[in-house]
Amino acid sequence: MKAFRVTGVAPFGSMRQAFSLDLPALNAGDAEHQTYSIMGSRHKAKRRTIDINSVEEIDPRTSTEPRITDHFREEIAAAGGSIAPTREEE
């Protein structure tokens, strides 16, 4: 499995808004399919209304997404920890 960052534009209610998702997937096509599935499930967006701009492989240590940190937990720890900037709670 690899980590991918999918960016694009999708309808959220009555507006179209940019989104970015970090996902563990086998390849770029699988990451794209998961994105369509998640956006359809969460926001009732149809595949034809979602515009995916890019699907790129990322280093799992640069992501703060819980799905990525959980899936690559051992790999991140073995590499010396996360290199993503931590956000403080407000």
Is pLDDT at 57 greater than 60 in this prediction? Answer: yes
Q: What is the mean pLDDT of residues 35-40?
A: 95
Is pLDDT at 22 greater than 70 in this prediction? Answer: yes
Domains of the chain: 2-58 (3.10.20.10)
Helix (H) or strand (E) holding 65: none
Compute the Cα dihedral for 54, 37, 63, 14 and give only its sign.
positive
Query: Could you tell me whether strands 2-12 and 51-58 are parallel, antiparallel, or unpaired per DSSP bridges?
Result: antiparallel
Question: Could you give the percent of the chain with pLDDT greater than 90?
Answer: 69
* Residue 25 pLDDT: 96
